[in-house]
Structures are given as structure tokens and as C-alpha cells.
A and B are shown apart, each in its own frame.
Chain A
Amino acid sequence: MTGTASPAEAADRVVGAVLSGLQHGSDQGIVVDSPPGAGKSTLVVRVAGELAAAGEPAILIAQTNEQVDDLINRLAATGAHRQIGRLSAVDYVPSPRVAQHQVVTVGTRVRDLDGSTVIVGTAAKWATVPEGTWPWAIVDEGYQMRSDALLRVANRFQRALFVGDPGQLDPFSTVESERWVGLTWDPMQSAMAVVLRHNPGLPLHRLPVSWRLPASAVPAVARAFYPFTGFRSGTGSTARRIALEAQRSAARSAHDMARSALDNVARSALDDAVELAASRGWALYELPARHTVRTDPEAIAACAALATRLLDRRAVAYSESAPSGRPVSPDRIAIGVAHRDQAAAIRALLPPSAAAVTVDTANRLQGREYDVTIVLHPLSGRRDATAFHLETGRLCVLASRHRHACIVVARAGIQELLDAHPGNTAVHLNVPVTFPDGWEANHAMLAHLERYRVIAG
């Protein structure tokens, strides 16, 4: 039973089952669901290596150039490939992490990449390849990919391994149409959904262990966003901790003092939130209830101030990979928001010392990992919830990027907002219901965060 196996054993068992299906199975596809930080990329790289070793060249289909470059960097590091092809658009400039590998060949056409044991490209680029069929494809981030994008590339492979995190944001279209709702091949659904609806018998594996999320985060994230499958943490409750090396009173940087916007933020509450997050892995930094514009100045300032404060307090993260501690430097911190204008406003407030802190939307934080994240709650200060703000994946992405701690900034009143939200939203026939529902997930997450509340001001 997985219950008694160590996390590593449990994970190995699933990876073993996937590889065995790959070598001995006859299914056209294999699907692997992965919770946040469960070693999805490791699996992809390993499978590509096994296929190369077996002499079956594979193609690897990712969603963004960033993802492609990340995968190439990791594939090259294994040394398992004679040549790695990087299928690219004409204007692609190899990033340093790709250019450093001799084994990588960049080409705009497949025939430039002859002899590669694996060819990697974005789905958009693969869609321009008019011919050729490879025995295997690995489709990465299948829940981010749209069904129609898969349709355009699926004739390039005979069999495929689909990997993805069901908790990510659903793909979307600028076009609003109900024309295809209910069809099994609805082009607006995710690639994973279309594959599973047409091939319900495909083997479905689940990676059982998150190596990223700390023990403090797994129960809450699993309950809110993966209620039926669940997963466990790869590390024990004592494996990860954050020490704050600077005292509350001592740490006031000149920049901090200079910024009047930040000065308005009550310092003791900031310290309370940072300390709570450092010791228990979560904090809810709660501002007074108020309806605000999207770029709520107080909430924006609080996000920037928390990041600054964390740096000023000289946080050091101790973990299994850094037993003697590693400073939580700006590049190990992310501030996650729902909208781009919020990100821009926060960036504008960060002092130079914190300029390397990542500030981005949930969409762009997908697949990324940090020591500490600061999250501006998508529903903070809102009068009404919309489907966008309630989307399960949005909160899930924001709440599952951290290795150590997550601080959520929100105005009070989200509970009431959720309770007042009309529950009679449109229902379509013949569309599988996806769980968890965003409304419920938000309730669950909020109930969890209540226990870590710090009242600002």
C-alpha cells in the first residue's frame, strides 16, 4: 500500500508503471496526472531518455518557448541523447540555457534536425509541420493545451504520453461561443479532456508525491483542489523551515523608509505575517473590508511591503536540498496576482533591492517554483465574483508555487462575497462536470487560511 511506502517508493512505483506501459503496453496513449511539483518534468525527461535508448525517436510537444527551453536544458543534462533537436520559429534566439549545450541543434524545419534522438518544440510550431509521423510523442502540460492545438499536431505521432497538472488554469479563447458545448471534440476544452473523452480506456496514472510543496501546504492544497485523488508531501513536517536572521526592530532598509506608500503599511502586522509564514508555512494578511479597484493601492502596497520585509528580515530557508540553509534571495520570491495591471503596480512599488522578485499573473506562474510566494487573493476587494476570479485553477496555481511558505494578502469580506454569489450559473448538457468547483475550492481555501490570519493595521 502507498500508505506505508516511503514517498520515494510510492513515486517510483508510478513512474515504473508508466515506463512499463510505454515498453510493453499496447495502448495508444498513456495519461499521467501530476499535482504541483510532483516530478512531472523529471518523468518527461526520463521517458525521453528511455525512448532514445530503445531507438525510438520521440517528439516532445510543450506549450511555451520557456517550457521548451527548460526541458531541453534538462534533457541535455542527462547525457542520454546523441542529438537534441530544437524546432523553432525563424526569429527564435537560443536562450543561454539552450546555447550552452553542444548536443542541441536548432532548426526551423524538421529536416534540419535529422539524427536527433528527440525533437522538442511548442505545439504552435509543431502545427506547422505538414508531414512525418513519429512512433512516440510526449505532450507536456496537456491541461494547458487547447483541444484544437492537439488536433493540429496529433497526426505527427502514433502513440503519446500526455502529462499535466489538472489543477492548472483551463485554456481559454477570446471568442465566446456555445456552439460546440457538449461535443466530445469541443475545440475550447483542454487537450487532456478531449483525449480522455474519446479514449476513456487509456491507462491513467497519478504521481502521488509533491516534492515542492512543504508538509504544511499539502493537506490544504490537496483538500481544496484535488479532493478525490489527493497526494502527499515528499518531505516531513520538520524538513523545511525558515529562519529570520534579522530582528523585527533592526531591519529597516533605507529604501523601505523612503517609500511613503510602504510606510503606511503597519510594520508590526507585516512582521507578524512574515513570522507566522516562516514558522507555519502560511499567513493571511487581512486588510479591512472595502470594495476597491483592481489595483487596490493598499493591497498592492502590502504585497510589495511583505516582499521587502521578508528580504529585510534576512530569511534563510533550510531544506533537504539545503540543510545548512540558503538565503531567500529576491529571485526565490514570487508575488502572484490575477491581473497584469496588478503586477505592474506592484513592480512599480518594489525598491531596487527587491527588483529581482518575480511579480506575475497566475497564468504565467504556472509550472514555476519559489521558496516563498506572496499572493494577492483574486477576490480581494471585489464586489462580485466572476467566473474568471472563481476559476479553480487560478487559486490553485497561486497557492501551490512555494517550497516553504505562502502569504496571502486579502481584504476581509471574501467569505460574504462567496456566500452572496449566485449559485445558479449556466448548466450545459453533456458536459462532464469538473471538480472541484471554484466556488467550493475558494471556500475550502479560505477556511484553511482563517487559521493563519494577521489583521493589518
Chain B
Amino acid sequence: MSTLVALARALAFVQGVAQPITMVRHIHCAERPMVFIPLALAGEANAPLAAMVGDDPDRPRLLVVPQPRNRDLRFAFAAELASILVPHFERFQTVTEVAAPDRTGQARWRSTDAPQVVVANPAAAGFVRLFGRSTRFRRADGPYAVDARVPVLGQWLTFFAERAEYPGSSLLVTLTDALAMHWATGQSALEDTHLPALLAWIEPPEGRDGATAAMLAEDPGIWPPAGPATDPDFDNRVLAPAIEAYAAATTPDAGTLAECQASGALRDAVASQLEPTWRLMWRAIALLRALPPGVRVADRWAADRDAYTEFAARLEGSGLPQPRRDGAVAAARRLHRLERALAAFTVQRAYDDPLIMAEYRLTGEAFVATVLEADRLRIDTSGRRRTLRPRVTVTTTDPAKPEVGSTWISPARPAQRARAVEVVVARGAETTVVLELSGGMGRALTPLPGSVPDAGERLCYTSLADQYVPPGDFPAPEETPWTHGGPPAPASLDAVEGQAAVASRRGDDLPRDDLPRDDLPRDDPAGEEWS
């Protein structure tokens, strides 16, 4: 929470409508996102009740578990969901492009596009994760066999859920988070996790202010909750009788017609809870699409496509499900990657968006300045070799007070470093800085045209650096030291783990958290799940 966002919230409160807090969009919007609204049965651990899913706003698919406590019906739901999602997920593998080679110089390919799953709120993203967890260890053979696509769906959902932890990733988009990243409402962040209320602030209906519209949107009688939890009142008044009626209609004595009727009534009841959210979600997607994308969104989407390509290949390869929890090495490696992703995302967002950069100007980590004079051709002769070191004198009224020796970068010329060699803080609000430039000017002793700012140019300098940080080295899992419990039991080091270890020694920088680590799924009491 920055001061600028806090101020925007105060403004939204007074104006009765949400205020923009970015000037560009910081997530990728797919051409055909797969919208997924799951509903869960109250009191159970992530037991599906129903879902609305699809990539066409006009043609949602409705899936219902008519008796949510029945394990077979739940897995029938999972199979049906898999029949929709898995082909969609696999479809993007076919068209590939050549990507930059990895650190060992090995050629790489990536899919030109990737699937994007969109859910309403953090709880729905949590459902995706747990549904992945509850299905990926299922087996298509042996006792309690399930449809072969169910465990595959489980691995895909797990992949999406894990990838969503990466700051800046857009493979699984949580709409309330995505909207709140771009708009500040006049309510609290806690209340922003309610999609109908959040949208009521962003697009209040004619004649209503955001606060009133949001309050109405919180009434489950007017707007059903966006799930996965259902309205208890709906459960007690509508759903429970409908499930009972269905149960009664499926007894041997009842006829097919009765069953059809009961099933239809149940579907209608559930649909009444899902359809309003379905419409809201597409409205939210349209709002996001209408924003111009930030320059670096495409780079991050390319990283997402890398992750997708890699995972799809792994599924076709070993196909072993992701482990329940990370092993010691896997955990440390993943944390390292998450921290690097966050650092990059933080910088990229500021580079792409003046309104985000303004937050750093406020704290003195960036400043916008006017070039007073530029010594474009200055040569530094103090070293062994003559080097091009132009100097520019800039002046700013921003609060930043650069220290002599500090390094600054202008997002307009990200390859160039500017070192403060002289700083004059005037009595007023004005600060004058002499910056010595290096890099990004070509190889000659005269700078390439436009590579050195001209007098009169206004530009931003920041201490945020969007630079590549090489990934750290970690021991292989079988070399886990005694301080961290020693190597995991040999049986759990499977072939894929070995591959990951090889990759880690190679210094391969691709996301690998989707690889199994150190426990095998075989001991799962499959028959008892959801019993």
C-alpha cells in the first residue's frame, strides 16, 4: 500500500467511484480466456457442487454434482470438467516459436500462445489449487479407478495454481486481484475481494454511488456470492430441498421423468447462483482489456509461455504428479525464483507506468528532471583506455536527494547507467545533479544519435534497476545437507528429480517448481477421499 494508492482510495470514497491507480494494464489478457466459476459444498473440504466454465461469454457450460456427498458423482464431475479443460490446455502446444537459447546455449522452443484461466476471487484460486491436489494423485487403474483425464486435470490445475504464485504471471488470473491492481475503491482491501462489490465501485450503475451499489451487491439475495462458498440461506432454502428431491427421484421406484425433472430443478437452482457471476466476470475482463497494456507485459507473458511449454512437455514425458509439499531443496529453489520474479515485476511495473513510478518519486527513489546541459562527447582519459563518459546536468524539484556516487537509470534508456558525480541541493525545492553516463551509447567514442539526452529533455531517473540477476546455485536434492534433514529417502528420488538436479547443475533458469520432489503419491488412501 503506497501513499498514492491510499490517496486514491480517499478520492474514490469522496467521489463515489473507483479511481485508476495505473496508467497501463500490468497483466496479459488472453484472446479467449477460460472462465471458471466453481461452487463448493459447505462444510466439506473443497467438495465440488457445481461449476460454470467456458471461453465464450455466450455459451457457458454448467456442471452440477447432483449429490455432492457421492464420491462417484464427484469424480464424474471431475471427468466432465477434464473433458472441457484438458483439451483446451493442450491446444496451445502445437504452434511454437524459437526462444532465446538457455544458459548452456541449447536451443529452446516455446508455444506462441498459452491458455489462461480466469477465476473470480482468491478463494476460487484456492479451489483450483485444492481441486488439483484432490485429483492429481487419482489413478485410472486399480481400485477406485477414475477417468484417465482426471489425474491429468489435477496436474494441470496444480500447475496453474503454482504458477499463480509468481508475481507478474498471468496464466491464472484472479479477477478481484487484477482489478484491485488497477483501481482503488472507496472501501477496504478486505471488501475488495467480493467481486460484485468491487465492480459496483468501478462501474456503479446510473444514479448510484459506489458505496451504495457495493452495499447492495453484498446482499446475497440480490447478487449471489461469486463462490466457491454459497449463500447459507440459499443452501437451506433452495439447495437442500432440491438435492433431497433429486435423491428421492433417483430411487428405483421413481421414474426417469421424475429424475429428469428433479435434476433439471437442481440445475436451475444452481445456475441461478452462477449466471450473475458469469456475466460479472466477462464485464471485468472487458474492463481490463480496455486498458492499454504495459510495454513489459509481453515479456512476462513470454515467461508464462515458457513455463507452459515446459510443463506440457513434462506431462507428456514422465507424467508424474507434483508432490504434496516441496522438499527442502525444492522449497529453497522456489523461494529464490519467487523473489527474483517479484524483484523483476516491481521494477517493470514502475518502468511501464508513470503512476507507479510516481510512488517512487514520492519516496525519493526516482526523480523527474530537466536536462540543463549535456556534454555529449566527453572522454574520460584517467584510465588506461580512453572511454566515452558524457555528462549531463539535470535539475529536479522532486524530493529525491541523490547522493554523490549513487547510480541511476532512466527507463527510456535502460541500458545506460548514470552516476551522480556532483549534487547541489539549493535552498528552495530544486536539486541540481551532474550525471556521468556509461553504456547504451554504442561502441565508438562518439555516442549513437539519441543515446545521450539533449538539453531541454525531461526524463525520469530511478534507482530501480531492471537487470538480469543470475540464478543462485543449490545442492541437488540427494545432496540435502544434514542441517536440513539430509537427503530424502532414496525411493522418493525419481527419475524426474534426477533431471531437475541435472538442470540445476547446468544452471538452467527455467521454472522447475512443477517437478516432483520427494514424495510419491502412491500411498494415498484413494478410496477414502471424499468418502
Q: Among A148, A155, A177, A186, which residue has the most Cβ atoms of chain B within 10 A?
A: A148
Q: Does B339 lie within 8 Å of A175, measured CB to CB?
A: yes
Q: Among A183, A186, A187, A191, which residue has the most Cβ atoms of chain B within 10 A?
A: A187
Chain A residues with Cβ under 8 A from B475's Cβ? 151-152, 154-155
Contact segment of A112-120, A192-200, A212-220, A357-365:
A192-200
Q: Does A127 lie within 8 Å of B335, measured CB to CB?
A: no
Q: Does A155 lie within 8 Å of B481, measured CB to CB?
A: yes
Q: Does A152 lie within 8 Å of B331, measured CB to CB?
A: no
Q: Does B483 lie within 8 Å of A194, measured CB to CB?
A: yes
Q: Does B326 lie within 8 Å of A179, measured CB to CB?
A: yes
In chain A between 192 and 243, which residues have their CB closer than 8 angstroms to a CB of chain B?
A: 194-195, 198-199
- Alpha-carbon distance A198/B480, docked complex (angstroms): 12
- Alpha-carbon distance A160/B484, docked complex (angstroms): 13
CB proximity of B516 to chain A, nearest CB, Å: 16
CB proximity of B438 to chain A, nearest CB, Å: 15
Chain B residues with Cβ under 8 A from A127's Cβ? 472-473
Q: Does B332 lie within 8 Å of A151, measured CB to CB?
A: yes
- Alpha-carbon distance A147/B414, docked complex (angstroms): 34
- Alpha-carbon distance A370/B529, docked complex (angstroms): 61
Question: B56 an interface residue at 8 Å Cβ cutoff?
Answer: no
Q: Does A185 lie within 8 Å of B328, measured CB to CB?
A: yes
Question: B512 an interface residue at 8 Å Cβ cutoff?
Answer: no
- From B335, B343, B483, A187 is in contact (CB under 8 Å) with B335
Question: B468 an interface residue at 8 Å Cβ cutoff?
Answer: no
Question: B506 an interface residue at 8 Å Cβ cutoff?
Answer: no
Q: Does B325 lie within 8 Å of A148, measured CB to CB?
A: no
Question: A73 an interface residue at 8 Å Cβ cutoff?
Answer: no
Mask, A104-130, CB within 8 Å of B = 1, is 000000000000000000000001101
Which residue of B has the minimal Cβ distance to A196?
B483
Q: Does B331 lie within 8 Å of A180, measured CB to CB?
A: yes
Question: A329 an interface residue at 8 Å Cβ cutoff?
Answer: no
Which residue of B has the minimal Cβ distance to A341?
B363
Q: Does A173 lie within 8 Å of B474, measured CB to CB?
A: no
Question: B336 an interface residue at 8 Å Cβ cutoff?
Answer: yes
- Alpha-carbon distance A177/B475, docked complex (angstroms): 23
Which residue of B has the minimal Cβ distance to A185?
B328
Prevailing SS type, chain A contact patch: loop
Chain A residues with Cβ under 8 A from B473's Cβ? 127-128, 130, 152
Question: A49 an interface residue at 8 Å Cβ cutoff?
Answer: no
Chain B residues with Cβ under 8 A from A160's Cβ? 483
Question: B479 an interface residue at 8 Å Cβ cutoff?
Answer: yes
Question: B338 an interface residue at 8 Å Cβ cutoff?
Answer: yes
CB proximity of A146 to chain B, nearest CB, Å: 9
- From B336, B342, B363, A148 is in contact (CB under 8 Å) with B336
Q: Does B474 lie within 8 Å of A151, measured CB to CB?
A: yes
- Alpha-carbon distance A198/B487, docked complex (angstroms): 12
Which residue of B has the minimal Cβ distance to A148?
B332
- Alpha-carbon distance A29/B328, docked complex (angstroms): 19
In chain A between 156 and 173, which residues have their CB closer than 8 angstroms to a CB of chain B?
A: 160, 173
Question: A188 an interface residue at 8 Å Cβ cutoff?
Answer: yes
Q: Does B342 lie within 8 Å of A28, measured CB to CB?
A: no
CB proximity of B334 to chain A, nearest CB, Å: 8
Question: B485 an interface residue at 8 Å Cβ cutoff?
Answer: yes
CB proximity of A79 to chain B, nearest CB, Å: 32
Mask, A408-441, CB within 8 Å of B = 1, is 0000000000000000000000000000000000
- From B165, B338, B482, B484, A147 is in contact (CB under 8 Å) with B484
Question: A150 an interface residue at 8 Å Cβ cutoff?
Answer: yes
Mask, B225-260, CB within 8 Å of A = 1, is 000000000000000000000000000000000000
Chain A residues with Cβ under 8 A from B472's Cβ? 127, 152
- From A174, A188, A198, A341, B484 is in contact (CB under 8 Å) with A198
Chain A residues with Cβ under 8 A from B480's Cβ? 151
- From A152, A177, A184, B485 is in contact (CB under 8 Å) with A184
- Alpha-carbon distance A426/B186, docked complex (angstroms): 26
Q: Does B165 lie within 8 Å of A198, measured CB to CB?
A: no
CB proximity of B250 to chain A, nearest CB, Å: 39
CB proximity of A25 to chain B, nearest CB, Å: 15
Question: B12 an interface residue at 8 Å Cβ cutoff?
Answer: no
CB proximity of A264 to chain B, nearest CB, Å: 21
Which residue of B has the minimal Cβ distance to A154?
B481
Given A127-B473, A152-B475, A179-B326, CB of A185 within 8 Å of CB of B484: yes
- From A154, A174, A183, A186, B482 is in contact (CB under 8 Å) with A154
Question: B329 an interface residue at 8 Å Cβ cutoff?
Answer: yes
Q: Does B335 lie within 8 Å of A151, measured CB to CB?
A: no
- Alpha-carbon distance A183/B482, docked complex (angstroms): 16
CB proximity of B517 to chain A, nearest CB, Å: 11
Q: Among B336, B473, B484, B485, which residue has the most Cβ atoms of chain A within 10 A?
A: B484
Q: Does B165 lie within 8 Å of A177, measured CB to CB?
A: yes
Mask, B481-494, CB within 8 Å of A = 1, is 11111100000000
CB proximity of B333 to chain A, nearest CB, Å: 8
- Alpha-carbon distance A187/B339, docked complex (angstroms): 12
- Alpha-carbon distance A206/B380, docked complex (angstroms): 57
CB proximity of B102 to chain A, nearest CB, Å: 19
CB proximity of B223 to chain A, nearest CB, Å: 29
In chain B between 425 and 479, which residues have their CB closer than 8 angstroms to a CB of chain A?
A: 472-475, 479
Q: Does A151 lie within 8 Å of B329, measured CB to CB?
A: yes
Chain B residues with Cβ under 8 A from A28's Cβ? 482
CB proximity of B338 to chain A, nearest CB, Å: 5
Q: Among B335, B342, B475, which residue has the most Cβ atoms of chain A within 10 A?
A: B335
Q: Does B484 lie within 8 Å of A173, measured CB to CB?
A: no
CB proximity of B330 to chain A, nearest CB, Å: 10
In chain A between 333 and 363, which residues have their CB closer than 8 angstroms to a CB of chain B?
A: 341
CB proximity of A387 to chain B, nearest CB, Å: 15
- Alpha-carbon distance A29/B474, docked complex (angstroms): 21
In chain A between 5 and 26, which residues have their CB closer than 8 angstroms to a CB of chain B?
A: none
Given A174-B342, A175-B338, CB of A154 within 8 Å of CB of B326: no
CB proximity of A99 to chain B, nearest CB, Å: 20
Q: Does B338 lie within 8 Å of A154, measured CB to CB?
A: no
- Alpha-carbon distance A285/B401, docked complex (angstroms): 31
Q: Does A147 lie within 8 Å of B326, measured CB to CB?
A: no
Which residue of A has the minimal Cβ distance to B325?
A183
- Alpha-carbon distance A154/B483, docked complex (angstroms): 7
Q: Does B481 lie within 8 Å of A151, measured CB to CB?
A: yes
For the complex of A and B, the 9 pairs showing the least CB-CB separation, nearest first, are A154-B481, A185-B328, A148-B332, A187-B332, A154-B483, A175-B338, A198-B485, A187-B335, A187-B331
Additional A-B contacts beyond A154-B482, A173-B339 (7; CB < 8 A): A154-B481, A155-B475, A160-B483, A175-B335, A179-B334, A187-B328, A199-B483
- Chain A to chain B contacts (Cβ below 8 Å), 27 pairs: A28-B482, A29-B483, A127-B472, A148-B331, A148-B335, A151-B475, A151-B483, A151-B484, A152-B332, A152-B474, A154-B475, A154-B483, A160-B483, A173-B339, A174-B339, A175-B338, A175-B339, A179-B165, A179-B331, A184-B485, A185-B331, A187-B328, A191-B483, A194-B483, A195-B483, A198-B483, A198-B484
Q: Interface residues, chain B, CB within 8 Å of chain A?
A: 165, 167, 325-329, 331-332, 334-336, 338-339, 342-343, 363, 472-475, 479-486
